[in-house]
Chains A and B, each alone.
Chain A
Amino acid sequence: MKPVKIAMASLTHGHTRKYYQTLLDNEKLDWVASCAADPRAREVYALYNTGVPCYSSMEEMFGKHPDIEAVVLASANDRHLEEMRECARRGVHILSMKIPTFDMTEYDEMIRLVDRAGIVCQIELEMHYNPVVRRLKELIASGAVGKILSMQATNITLSPVWAFPWQGVPEASYGRRIPLKEGDPRFRGGALCDHPHIFDLIRHLTGSDFEQVYSVVAPNLRNELEVEDMILCNGRMKNGVTFLFDPSWSRMEERLKVPAPGWEVFPKRMQVDVTIIGEEGTIVCDCFGPNIYHNGAPNDRYTVQYTYFDEWIGLVDEFVDCIRNRKIPKINLKWHRQTIECMNACYESVRSGLPVTLDEQRRG
């Protein structure tokens, strides 16, 4: 199979660096170019010595490499629509970050662009390529716990805003400056926007969609942020399964400008723990464990050293397979739309102080 000529754009997303090794290792890819959204992104990119040239704009990159077939749009959320328009215009396949946009009008334009151009647009929800999640899906599908009654999950991390400042800017993260609720000085665009995974996972595990969601925010742990960092959600799926999710930035961090050892203050900087309660059994699951542990440099703090997990390998394999074999990615724009709708409903619930019914929100 001819390797796919691939590029990376913007380089400002927190997941950017996680692609480098996979793009270099995979024989089915030819990573030919990158372009940076700003000089700082370009400087940080240079630290990783990938050997792949970096340009100052998509236009310059495409000009120098007109044979690019696919692009990883590793950009802030408010850049996605414009970049997708450019890729669709050129017939270039897209690997989008986890939040294409929170604006549903923009979202529908993205769907139309991709459909008209006949390109692949895969959404980066890497948890699907985690072997623990694969086992979890298989167990549930095999009836290991019987009919599911409820699911509880965390998607809790440190806050990446000091390294990736756009994640603390409401316009860049959420797309607009919308107050969380009347009298609250904070805006949409924080921790919730960083953590769609568990909202997506429950749809896969239950085969159902969201009926109702209720959400509350707590006082921020980080006073400087103008977006939320502590948020909780509960609700019910259409098939009756109830859920409780914690998608907060509740693990504190050192305020590093470039992610590096010592980033975490709490020993484990990312926890995706899932509990599934069924009529015939219960599963508890740590999607990122076990690991190895140390209290060495740089801060001599007890630290979880993530050991086993390479989600980006499977994610990129699927992207290549979809391009070469004209398949639709598992996580595509149309599938992901209801996940984004539910996350918007969480914000609406925070605003109103009431549960939000998804069908009513769609009609409204």
Chain B
Amino acid sequence: MNIESMNEGLHRLLEKYLPGKTALLETDAGIGCGAVLKKDGECVKLLPWRVERRFTELKNLTENGTLEEVSTLRFAVMSAEESLRQLLYRELDLCEFLGKSEIRSAFAVVSGGRTANVLIKLADGKSVSIECSAALPEKTSPLDRHEIIARRGIACDRVVDTQVPQSSIYLFRDGEETRYTDVDSELYGLENKEIWIVRAAFAVVKTPGLAAQWNRTDRILRRNVESILNTEESGKPVFFQEEHA
């Protein structure tokens, strides 16, 4: 993660859309996205997947009537670089973000300390499955899939009949395949993960109320990650009380 380039991108966005506003990204070694925003003397935990376009578009489909009566969310995530806790942190937040309901209970089966298969119930009755693996071989690109199943319609961030993410460009040369997926003209040159962190930081500056909301969500998520992973030892599902209200 190149924090200097990310701050340059954030500065460009602020200068263009919110002239006079300032903020700074700093790396963060704790569980989360890998960076925090420093703004007006406060430290804000960022939830960049909440501004990532594929997730905002999926959420739109659940809110604009394209999907009707969502029943189940099916998520999968596999990574060579991120820890099991980091992966679960993001996916648990996406459960509530896309499911539009709080997590009420969960049960995980964990293997080797690097994989967890989790079943979740949301407060409104929806079910969620999360296939979570930090055991991808080194140098393998991350894989993920987010599917929303409703009485009317299914939506997914992966195209039907495929198992791995598609790219925009494939370069074949010297027996090798190189892939490129560029998704943001204004932040061109940053890695995709960096782009969504910058966009999340911009969102916080633009909508200051997000800072307290995301910091609170971060605290709940960190606790939930540990509680859910502990169900492996307890052998029982964990139940959560209403917390976000």
| Max count, chain B CB within 10 A of own CB: residue among A135, A295, A296 | A296
Residues on B with beta carbons closer than 8 Å to the beta carbon of A139: 169, 171, 180
Instruction: Name the CB-closest residue of A to B19.
Output: A27
Q: Count how many chain A residues have C-beta atoms less than 8 Å from C-beta atoms of the other chain.
A: 41
The reply on B54 being an interface residue by CB < 8 A is: yes
The reply on A81 being an interface residue by CB < 8 A is: no
- Contact between chains at A286 and B153 (CB < 8 Å): no
Within 8 A of A (CB), among B17-38: 17, 19
Residues on A with beta carbons closer than 8 Å to the beta carbon of B157: 292-293
The reply on A116 being an interface residue by CB < 8 A is: no
Within 8 A of A (CB), among B155-179: 155-160, 165-174
- Contact between chains at A134 and B160 (CB < 8 Å): no
The reply on B109 being an interface residue by CB < 8 A is: no
- Contact between chains at B168 and A286 (CB < 8 Å): yes
Name the distance in Å between A317's Cβ and chain B's nearest Cβ. 8
Q: Count how many chain B residues have C-beta atoms less than 8 Å from C-beta atoms of the other chain.
A: 41
- Contact between chains at B170 and A289 (CB < 8 Å): no
The reply on B234 being an interface residue by CB < 8 A is: no
Name the distance in Å between B139's Cβ and chain A's nearest Cβ. 21
Residues on A with beta carbons closer than 8 Å to the beta carbon of B67: 294, 296-297
- Please report the C-alpha to C-alpha distance between residue A295 and residue B165 in the assembled complex, in whole angstroms: 19
Name the distance in Å between A268's Cβ and chain B's nearest Cβ. 10
The reply on A217 being an interface residue by CB < 8 A is: no
Residues on B with beta carbons closer than 8 Å to the beta carbon of A285: 168-170
- Contact between chains at B153 and A294 (CB < 8 Å): yes
The reply on B193 being an interface residue by CB < 8 A is: no
- Contact between chains at B153 and A293 (CB < 8 Å): no
Instruction: Name the CB-closest residue of B to A294.
Output: B155
The reply on A311 being an interface residue by CB < 8 A is: yes
Instruction: Name the CB-closest residue of A to B66.
Output: A296
* A290 touching B150 in the complex, CB below 8 Å, given contacts A281-B172, A307-B53: no
Query: Would you mind naming 28 contact pairs between A and B with Cβ atoms under 8 Å apart?
Result: A27-B19, A132-B169, A132-B180, A135-B168, A135-B169, A135-B182, A139-B180, A280-B173, A281-B173, A282-B172, A284-B169, A285-B168, A285-B169, A290-B165, A290-B181, A292-B54, A294-B154, A295-B154, A296-B61, A296-B66, A296-B152, A297-B152, A297-B153, A305-B155, A307-B53, A307-B57, A308-B183, A314-B185
Give the top 4 A-B pairs by smallest Cβ distance, nearest first: A296-B153, A281-B173, A131-B182, A294-B155
New A-B pairs, 17, CB < 8 Å, besides A293-B159, A308-B54: A132-B180, A135-B169, A139-B171, A261-B64, A280-B174, A281-B173, A282-B172, A290-B159, A290-B168, A294-B156, A296-B66, A296-B67, A297-B152, A300-B153, A307-B57, A308-B184, A313-B185
